[in-house]
Amino acid sequence: MQRQPEPELMEGAQQVQVYADADFGAGDAHTLSLLNGLLERTGALPPTPSLVDLGCGPGNITLRLAQAFPEARVIGVDGSAAMLAIARRRASELDLNVEFRCCDLRCLNDLGADLVTSNSLLHHLHQPDLLWRTTIAIAAPGCRVLHRDLRRPASIEALDQLQQRHLGEAPALLVRDFRASLVAAFEIQEVNDQLLEAGLGSWSVEPEDDRYLVVSGLVN
């Protein structure tokens, strides 16, 4: 199936609310367990690490990071003010100290990050190398990297099956966005090619269940 990009930022009030209300808890918990696995394999973080969640949306992963690593400086970045308004409110309700930055990835520079992560961001980017360049630009040497995203199914029939399996009773707007996201997503081979092109051929790209891929590695 041919890739069809979708808008980068999620800014529509209704779209943002439907996304924020959706239950991604199981996938979010899995992302945290993948991050913990990466840290087990690569060694402990420094005592007061900087952790950056790119395309953080309503803070689903950012808030979990702040809870799991209370000693860390946690930064969530998103270009959508509407998403960040929800993320900030949630952080405040949970009394979590998180720094949210409302800016496009293109505006970021060195953050001295010890860990850079993203969840469901890559498929939004019109030029995927933006994620790889940004990760390198904001990282400290030795930075751990884990980006998890949807992967594009081979056909419309496969996409229909994924929708039925995972979003049977979901709101229409969420279904629309899920389908658009899958069509905008990359295949594993495409991500491997992007990493090679960016000089990041040592990073791995692994499939996760029937619709995700996980990129992980270290910044030299």
What whole-number distance in Å separates Cα of residue 166 and Cα of residue 174? 11
Per rule CB under 6 A, count of chain residues that contact ligand SAM: 20
List for the chain the helix, strand, coil content (%; round to 5): 45, 20, 35
Burial annotation 183-220 (CB, 10 A radius, 16+ → b, else e)? bbbbbeebbbebbeebebeebebeebeebbbbbbbbbe
* Helix (H/G/I), strand (E/B), else coil: 199: coil
Is 119 one of the binding residues for ligand SAM (CB under 6 A)?
yes
Is 120 one of the binding residues for ligand SAM (CB under 6 A)?
yes
Is 104 one of the binding residues for ligand SAM (CB under 6 A)?
yes
Which amino acid is residue 94, in one-letter code? L
Q: Residues 38, 61, 214, 219: which binds ligand SAM (CB under 6 A)?
A: 61
Is 55 one of the binding residues for ligand SAM (CB under 6 A)?
yes
What whole-number distance in Å separates Cα of residue 51 and Cα of residue 139? 10
Q: Residues 49, 79, 153, 217: which binds ligand SAM (CB under 6 A)?
A: 79
Is 83 one of the binding residues for ligand SAM (CB under 6 A)?
yes
| Nearest-approach distance from CB 43 to ligand SAM, in angstroms | 26
Q: Residues 10, 98, 159, 185: which binds ligand SAM (CB under 6 A)?
A: 10
| Nearest-approach distance from CB 8 to ligand SAM, in angstroms | 4
Is 124 one of the binding residues for ligand SAM (CB under 6 A)?
yes
Point out which span in 78-86, 138-146, 157-165, 185-193 binds ligand SAM (CB under 6 A): 78-86
- DSSP letter, residue 46: P
What whole-number distance in Å separates Cα of residue 37 and Cα of residue 41? 6
Is 128 one of the binding residues for ligand SAM (CB under 6 A)?
no
Sign of CA dihedral 51, 66, 184, 26: positive
Is 105 one of the binding residues for ligand SAM (CB under 6 A)?
yes
Judge whether 185 and 147 are in contact, CB under 8 Å: no
> Given the complex with ligand SAM, which of 105 and 111 has the nearer CB atom?
105
Is 153 one of the binding residues for ligand SAM (CB under 6 A)?
no
Question: Can you give the binding site for ligand SAM, defined by CB under 6 A?
Answer: 8-10, 24, 55-57, 60-61, 78-80, 83, 104-105, 119-121, 124-125
